[in-house]
Amino acid sequence: MPRIAANLTMLFNEVPFLDRFEAAAKSGFAAVEFLFPYEYKAAELRARLDGNGLRLVLHNLPPGDWAKGERGIGCHPDRVGEFRDGVGRAIEYATALGAPQLNCLAGIAPKDVPGDRLRATFVDNLRFAAEQFKAAGLKLLIEPINYYDIPGFYLNRTAQALDLIAEVGSENLYVQYDIYHAQRMEGELANTIKANLRRIAHMQLADNPGRNEPGTGEINYRFLFGWLDSIGYDGWIGCEYKPKTTTEAGLGWRAAHGL
């Protein structure tokens, strides 16, 4: 069955962030992911991972000013220097924490910037980051995100991500396929995953509507987990959902789905 990782940004949010590592381990997770490590010292995070027998499977590049609503700066023409500095910072953290791959958030498209300039900026930034990551032994990922949850987000669909990857021309650039976002934007989950399996390096899950745990909405996760096994998906799936009540109360979905 698929390997699942706890997303510590979303799960166990009843406790302080640094205590979520222990909570995840006690709940049976062997791996974790989270959005950003940058407000903590890498050594402190590594101690939490090692002390709880966990591995880190993913984090994101610096996103700009998250608290002020920025959701990445990859497509921002006036932030290229900041983006490239962030690549170096991300590599330092990923290397220290043992993360094999990082996600680059495209960002909300700035107003009054022509579409061709947005695309050219994002392609150039991805080309730079993919090369730097390859030298560091890391994979670079991009994630389509639905425009209902984040209006104006530049990257929304799987086909768009694959088209960008083709233009960048790097074998070190992959899709982070979030099942929840994909369901909201395009559906056709099983066949889309199968057709593009070679370019999907990581997945995330939540049900729809509500972005809660599997079994609370319309997505047939029992089928989907079996489908992923049958087509040979061997990556991790991050549990990036909002618990409907508490994290612990909602974890019964794993047993219900054979996990």
Q: Which residue has the tokens 């593009």?
A: 196
Each residue of 197-214: pLDDT tens digit?
999 999 999 999 999 999
Domain with residue 146: its CATH number is: 3.20.20.150
Which helix (DSSP H) or strand (DSSP E) does residue 173 occupy?
Answer: strand 173-178
Each residue of 64-120: pLDDT tens digit?
999 999 999 999 999 999 999 999 999 999 999 999 999 999 999 999 999 999 999
Query: What's residue 2's pLDDT?
Result: 86
Each residue of 29-77: pLDDT tens digit?
999 999 999 999 999 999 999 999 999 999 999 999 999 999 999 999 9
Each residue of 151-181: pLDDT tens digit?
999 999 999 999 999 999 999 999 999 999 9
Range of the domain at 61: 3-256
CA distance from start to end of the chain: 7
- Residues with catalytic roles: 143, 240
Mean pLDDT of the chain: 97
Query: What's residue 43's pLDDT?
Result: 98
Count of domains observed in the chain? 1
- For residue 1, pLDDT over 90 is answered with no
213: left (phi over 0), alpha (psi -120 to 50) or beta: beta
The structure's pTM equals 0.97
Which of 54, 38, 34 is CA-nearest to residue 46?
54
pLDDT band for position 258 (50/70/90)? Answer: confident
Each residue of 120-144: pLDDT tens digit?
999 999 999 999 999 999 999 999 9
